[in-house]
Amino acid sequence: MPDVLLEEHLPSRSVPRSRPYSNVVFEPSTALIVAASTIQAKFASFDEDGNRLWEPDGMWLSPRLFHFTGISRASDTFLPSRS
């Protein structure tokens, strides 16, 4: 199999993805790879005109510096190619 790395404890192949995965497991009975990611991200809520739905009160806290953070979670299932 091309691009297989054999230098580690288990053979592996690097596959570029759009997000980092925090947990990866191989299920031998189904030959599937399940990967999970948890990412903390900044966000703000806007109305249909593009205005923020909430702004902080007072001049001591800049709206540009204030943001909410949330956790985005995802799981993906991969079927390794057999070629």
Range of the domain at 50: 1-83
Query: Of the candidates 22, 10, 4, which has an alpha carbon nearest to the alpha carbon of residue 76?
Result: 22
DSSP string, 1-64: -TT-B-SSSS-B-----SS--SEEEEETTTTEEEEEEEEEEEE--B-TTS-BS---SSSSS-TT
Condensed to tens digits (0 to 9), the pLDDT of residues 12-48 reads 777 777 778 888 888 888 888 898 988 887 777 889 9
pLDDT in tens, 15-24: 777 778 888 8
Contact 24, 35 (CB under 8 A): yes
Instruction: State the total domains in the chain.
Output: 1
Percent of the chain, pLDDT > 90? Answer: 4
